[in-house]
Amino acid sequence: MPCSRRRRDVSEGRRSALQHALLAAKGHASKRELHGVIEKLSALDRKVLMEDLEAAMLLASAFHHLFFSTRAMELLHAIEDRVTVAGDPILLRRWRNLLACQYFAEGDFEEAEELYSWCLSSAERSNHGRIIVAASGGLAAIRGLMGEVDVALSLYTRALAAAHSLGMAFEIARLHHNVGLTLREWGRYTEAFPHFMHAADYYAENGILEEKVFSSAERSLLLTATGDTLMAEQLARTAQERCKVLRNPTIEVTALRAMGVVLRATGRLEEARANLIEAVRLAEGCSHALVRVDAYEEMALVEAMNGHGASAEYFRNRAVDTFGHLGLHKHCERFLSNYNSAL
């Protein structure tokens, strides 16, 4: 076979493999099959993958949806130069939005906010509905973390309106979950309930296991806060059961922490401690700064209540440092107030 023909065949073969993988991956409309997307696209030669920005974006998106933010971030940075020189506003919007999601996950809220804001105004100008939903939802989550609940709620309202008109049922559920989370974080428990219910109803029918864990864990935290510790414990246990097959540390920490919180609330401090030691151990390996700080915060409270002064102080300082690093000053103030009460 002549050399040029063979080269062409190889190139055709690569293109065909990529097309095949991409079409197969794009065909996976359901999030249940995101693992399949990753499997198909990761199996491609890295060089082939990097040749095609659309393929790389699809893979990064699958990583993101399954909470593998480090891998998504690495891939997005790897294609940054090519995205920039492509001069494609649609691709740039999608890339920046996905990157913002990773910065958010890693706790760089300043960077995430800047990217989301750019995406939102760019998307509003060109009526790019999907990005309007994602960027306003992302900005809402950041404002919520900063304690600006009203601003967050108004952004969520907009995101929900756009998601409704595009029929993005999953996004509607995710946004409701996040509204519930923001309201719970800042003590607006009664208002948080219906939002969590809305999300839980959707996840029960259509959610992947990861989402069900988050949903159960967050509802457990809400119920602990409102005093229904029996139900809270059962939900935390459900979350832990569901975690067993996932092997995702971020999700496992969330479930362990929920259990730790309810055990602390019911005075079973040794059991709470055992859960939280494991949570901290796993959280240390996570890139999600919010997950880490949640674990430190709870560990510090349990150690303080247990009378383990030095250990409590150690985790208190880690929590304060992480809160400071994240710029979550209101959260930090609230934590210190709880910590001082626990001593």
Residues at the site binding another protein, with contacts judged by CB under 8 A? 19, 22-23, 26, 53-54, 86-88, 90-91, 121, 128-130, 150-151, 153-154, 157-158, 160-162, 164-169, 191, 193-194, 197, 204, 228, 230-231, 234-235, 238
Whether 155 contacts 143, CB under 8 Å: yes
Phi-psi region of 228 (alpha: psi -120 to 50; beta: other; left: phi over 0): beta
At its nearest, how many Å lie between another protein and the CB of residue 336?
27
Q: Give the DSSP H or E segment for 319.
A: helix 309-326
At its nearest, how many Å lie between another protein and the CB of residue 157?
6
Whether 58 contacts 22, CB under 8 Å: yes
Whether 165 contacts 154, CB under 8 Å: no
Nearer to another protein (CB atom), residue 96 or residue 128: 128
Nearer to another protein (CB atom), residue 160 or residue 280: 160
CA distances from 67 to 148, 242, 252, 334 (A): 26, 16, 12, 28
At its nearest, how many Å lie between another protein and the CB of residue 165?
4
DSSP 158-182: HHHHHHHHHT-HHHHHHHHHHHHHH
The token duo for 266 is 């019911």
**What are phi and psi for residue 107, nearest 5 degrees?**
90, 10
- How many residues does the structure list for the chain? 343
Nearer to another protein (CB atom), residue 48 or residue 91: 91
At its nearest, how many Å lie between another protein and the CB of residue 244?
14
Nearer to another protein (CB atom), residue 176 or residue 288: 176
At its nearest, how many Å lie between another protein and the CB of residue 280?
28
Nearer to another protein (CB atom), residue 160 or residue 301: 160
At its nearest, how many Å lie between another protein and the CB of residue 21?
12
Nearer to another protein (CB atom), residue 164 or residue 330: 164
